[in-house]
Amino acid sequence: MIVPRLALPISLALQRVSRRVAEHPHNLRILQRHMSSVYFRSGAIKPKPEEMPFGLLAIFCAVIPGLFVGATISKNVANFLEENDLFVPADDDDDED
């Protein structure tokens, strides 16, 4: 149901873009510039970018402390809310019987 609704506006937008490119050839250069980041101006292929040797370790060093800090903040906020009687979870909510 959603796809037919979106198909017409998308096809109209693509037709407008293709008309603009046909009317103004310098627009085509802008589109090509986006795709040519792999090549030098001479046409030679650029070398493969250097990879970080400990990439996975760096991700873990960023994510794990972030999780601990987030958990500590949420625990402190929950304790504050309970101490000030702003939110106290009811014990009878646990019984589904």
Task: List, in sequence order, every residue forming a beta bridge with 39; answer none if it has no partner.
Answer: 45
φ, ψ at 45 (rounded to 5°): -80, 135
Token couple for 88: 């106290």
Token couple for 94: 């646990």
DSSP state of 46: P
Instruction: Return the pLDDT at 33.
Output: 45
pTM of the complete model beyond 0.85: no
The one-letter amino acid code at 68 reads F
Query: Which residue, 43, 21, 41, is CA-closest to 30?
Result: 21
pLDDT, tens digit (0-9, with 9 covering 90-100), for 46-74: 888 787 788 889 899 999 999 999 999 99
Element (H, E) at 34: helix 26-35
In the chain, the percentage of residues whose pLDDT exceeds 90 is 26
Classify 39 as helix, strand or coil.
strand
DSSP state of 92: G
pLDDT, tens digit (0-9, with 9 covering 90-100), for 3-27: 566 676 777 777 777 777 667 666 5
